[in-house]
Amino acid sequence: MVVIPPNTIDQPSEYLRPQTSTEQYWAIRALKAETILQARTVHHRELQSLSFSEQTKRSREIAALSQAHEAKQVRLEKFVIALLACLGFLIMAFIYLLTSRNRNEPSASRRSLPYHFTIPILSPFTSVVEHETSAIGTRSIAVLVMTLAVLVYFIFRRWMMRTGAVA
């Protein structure tokens, strides 16, 4: 830091000081104008620095919100992919069950004739007709699928409420 001794500061000479009342009036006006200009300049700099700091703060907040939104979006996309994979697996299993059932059935000519066999314990003359049916009926499968769909819906809704995605 450089310190200037007080006696080396240039003092305004006598002829630079205002002598008449008109000169004093204009000197005071110039001094007021310079003071106001300096205050305005300082105020303008403060506003610019405040504006810049607010803008950087806002951009950081927007970046944080964007990042949180992207993370939530990625989680939702993964969840939807998992649901679609489960749905695809169920459809493939259903198709497999339908096609495997048709492979094991006898031909149409033999299927029209029922199988008869006798159970000796009941009576020597009693015959039982065997009908090939599925262990799980169509109604049972439909009820199971509907129950599973409702369960998946409520699990998905609870997960969405817990993560705050739905208000």
Mind listing the pLDDT tens digit for each residue in 92-129?
888 888 777 655 555 555 455 555 555 556 555 555 55
Q: Please give the backbone phi and psi of residue 107, each rounded to the nearest 5 degrees, phi first.
A: -65, 170
Distance separating alpha carbons of residues 16 and 6, to the nearest angstrom: 20
CA 123 to chain centroid:
71
pLDDT digits (tens, 9 = 90+) for 33-44: 999 999 999 999
